[in-house]
């Protein structure tokens, strides 16, 4: 990257942070510039992280090229949904939102918060360049498409091989028995084994991996309708998770760890194993990154899979508010910005400089090299691992298993039957 581009990216990051606090409210209050010549974005891509810095740079370049102002308000990822819904009630909806199209978000299509972008994907030429399978099933709900896919990837288990080696473990565990041996050796060496983020959504995501070890893809029906207590294979997966909890395979006080806490603990070399998404490949220091191997969750005897499992992810993207879609002038500005983001130069920056995984076909992006070794691993990760069924596609809106996962992972001796009953109650409510 040239010195000019570097300076532009630094300036863009500072600029995005400066406008964040007033981006949406300033527009609604008649701030300068007027709503007629600007776009507002509500984003979970944080300034200082690869995705947030990419967006800041893209915004600065876009404004320089077109004169169109783009105001970015950054909020914590876990606060995005609440912020959007609050903005809608207040009549201050942003034009674009960067977010995953999860079950909690899908009803926004029916409620008029976001627009079905099906016609824009086709008319703006984006459908032709996306990877197969990204729009459907990842971004499709009741025949509607919830946004413009931009980020894809995986959600694997991360292993710090330097810490494993310190404990005398010279290979990545592929079975649960090997995982238990590794965890015992790590504890004996004074190293925490597996970070389970029992405090927030990260623990819920990891739970769904354990839950399907014996059910295989039948877990999709349970994700949609509940029924843990009536499925012996689901109970076996939960029982295994409880055994590993009581066997101290997971970090001490796992119920007090959030996803970001696990990231920090892993980056600081305090824990050897964790479950993170590929969106975090750039979040670690160089030393830890170089020592990391990403792979699937180890399998128990009698598992429904042949190889360790990991989630594929349809990823993050940009949702279009219905208000912006209904405003012809605003929609024209949005089109220009979307066209800009999907241009090869920006896609190359997303992949090559920001080390992210694109939802666009490689032939469209062109030649680009990743500087992050974890992306190289991700490119072949399915060679030795199986893809699991991810909850984002099936769990119905309004079901939040986080409190129950927190209870189970933080309650030694809690049984699979007790946990299953509590989970099933969520689907019945």
Query: Which pairs count as long-range contacts for 411-415, CB under 8 Å and 24+ apart, including other chains?
Result: 412/245, 412/246, 413/246, 414/242, 415/239, 415/242
Buried b (16+ CB within 10 A) or exposed e, 231-261: bebbbbbbbbbbebbeebbbbeebbebbbbb
Sheet holding 69-74, edge to edge: 69-74, 38-43, 96-100, 316-320, 148-149
The domain defined by 3-149+316-358 folds into D-Maltodextrin-Binding Protein; domain 2 (3.40.190)
- The Cα 332–Cα 120 span in angstroms is 11
Buried/exposed code over 192-209 (b: 16+ C-beta within 10 A; e: otherwise): bbbbbbbbbbbbbbbbbb
Task: Give the pLDDT score at 14.
Answer: 32
Where do the CATH 3.40.190.10 domains begin and end in the chain? 3-149+316-358, 154-312+375-428
Maximum Cα–Cα distance across the chain: 65
| Phi-psi region at 366: left, alpha or beta (left = phi > 0; alpha = psi -120 to 50) | left
CATH of 154-312+375-428, one of 3.30.420.40, 3.10.20.30, 3.40.50.880, 3.40.190.10: 3.40.190.10
Rounded-to-integer distance, Cα 305 and Cα 174, Å: 12
Contacts of 78 (CB under 8 A, 6+ apart): 200, 201
pLDDT at position 4 is 27
Tell me what pLDDT residue 24 has. 44
Q: What is the pTM of this model?
A: 0.80
The pLDDT profile of the chain, 429 residues, written as one tens digit per residue, is: 332 233 233 333 333 333 333 334 444 333 444 556 899 999 999 888 899 999 999 999 999 999 999 999 999 988 999 999 999 999 999 999 999 998 889 999 999 999 999 999 999 999 999 999 999 999 999 999 999 999 999 999 999 999 999 999 999 999 999 999 999 999 999 999 999 999 999 999 999 999 999 999 999 999 999 999 999 999 999 999 999 999 999 999 999 999 999 999 999 999 999 999 998 998 899 999 999 999 999 999 999 999 999 999 888 999 999 999 999 999 999 999 999 999 999 999 999 999 899 999 999 998 888 888 998 898 889 999 999 999 989 998 889 999 999 999 999 999 999 999 999 999 997
Q: Which residue has the tokens 């970070």?
A: 195
């Amino acid at each position: 990257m040239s010195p000019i581009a570097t300076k532009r990216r630094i300036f863009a990051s500072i600029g995005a942070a400066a406008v964040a606090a007033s981006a949406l409210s300033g527009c609604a209050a008649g701030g300068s510039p007027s709503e007629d010549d600007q776009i507002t974005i509500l984003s979970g891509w944080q300034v200082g992280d690869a995705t947030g810095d990419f967006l800041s740079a893209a915004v600065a370049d876009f404004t320089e090229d077109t004169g169109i102002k783009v105001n970015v308000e950054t909020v914590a990822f876990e606060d995005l949904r609440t912020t959007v819904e609050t903005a809608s009630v207040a009549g201050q909806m942003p034009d674009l939102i960067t977010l995953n199209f999860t079950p909690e978000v899908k009803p926004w299509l029916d409620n008029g918060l976001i627009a079905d972008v099906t016609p824009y994907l086709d008319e703006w030429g984006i459908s032709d360049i996306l990877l197969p399978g990204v729009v459907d099933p990842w971004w499709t709900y009741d025949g509607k498409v919830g946004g413009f896919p931009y980020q894809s990837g995986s959600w694997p288990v991360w292993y710090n091989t330097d810490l494993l080696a310190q404990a005398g473990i010279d290979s990545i565990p592929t079975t649960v028995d090997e995982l238990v041996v590794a965890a015992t050796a790590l504890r004996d060496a004074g190293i925490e084994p597996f970070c389970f983020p029992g405090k927030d959504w990260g623990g819920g995501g990891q739970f769904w991996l354990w839950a399907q070890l014996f059910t295989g893809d039948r877990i999709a029906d349970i994700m949609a309708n509940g029924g843990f207590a009536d499925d012996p294979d689901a109970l076996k997966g939960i029982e295994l998770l409880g055994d590993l909890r009581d066997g101290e395979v997971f970090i001490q006080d796992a119920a007090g760890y959030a996803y970001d806490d696990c990231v920090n603990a892993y980056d600081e070399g305090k824990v050897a194993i964790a479950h993170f998404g590929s969106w975090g490949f750039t979040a670690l220091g160089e030393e830890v990154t170089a020592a990391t191997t990403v792979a699937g969750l180890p399998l128990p005897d009698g598992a429904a899979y042949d190889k360790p499992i990991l989630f594929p992810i349809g990823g993050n993207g940009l949702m279009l508010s219905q208000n912006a879609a209904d405003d012809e002038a605003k929609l024209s500005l949005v089109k220009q910005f979307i066209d800009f983001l999907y241009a090869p130069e920006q896609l190359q920056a997303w992949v090559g400089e920001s080390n992210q995984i694109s939802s666009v076909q490689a032939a469209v992006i062109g030649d680009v090299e990743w500087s992050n070794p974890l992306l190289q691993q991700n490119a072949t990760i399915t060679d030795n691992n199986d893809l699991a069924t991810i909850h984002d596609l099936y769990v119905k809106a309004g079901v939040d298993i986080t409190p129950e996962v927190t209870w189970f992972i933080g309650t030694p001796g809690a049984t699979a039957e007790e946990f299953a009953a509590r989970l099933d109650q969520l689907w019945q409510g």
